[in-house]
Amino acid sequence: MFHTIIFIGNLGRDPEMRYTPTGQPVTSFNVASNRQYTNQNGQKVKETIWFRVSVWGKQAETCNQYLRKGSKVLIEGRLTPDPTSGGPRVWTRSDGTSGASYDVTASTVRFLSARGEVEGDLGGEDLPEMDAGEDIPF
């Protein structure tokens, strides 16, 4: 069996790199993918899905070196299910509502932002504001 996921979004914060005990580099970052559509009532709806991305090896070092909060990326990889539920990671926010994040192990990361573009300019696409009371488990 084979599955793959491809999405485009912006980094929600700077990447974090660490090394496994065997010396393998791994970089983690979260990506917000936005979609806007008009519902049946004619109202515009903005939808944001958060992904937690892990990148391994040489590509992990490259991502850590060049990506920053706000960088636009295309990610291709596979979903990594939560070991307890077999699906996305689900949690309860401080306000009592449910939240979910999708873990992705990236096989390809394509940088879509030009150098210097990230500094205060997201190419017209704003990152969603996160509520200060919103508990995200990463």
Domains of the chain and any CATH numbers: 5-111 (2.40.50.140)
Residue appearing with tokens 């636009």 = 72
SS percent in the chain: helix, strand, coil, step 5: 5, 45, 45
Measured distance CA(122)–CA(131) in Å, rounded: 20
pLDDT value at 31 more than 80:
yes
pLDDT value at 12 more than 90:
yes
The pTM (predicted TM-score) of the whole model is 0.76
pLDDT value at 130 more than 50:
no
Instruction: State the alpha helices, DSSP H only, in 10-109.
Output: 58-66
pLDDT (average), residues 12-22: 96
**Would the CA dihedral through 5, 9, 13, 17 be positive or negative?**
positive
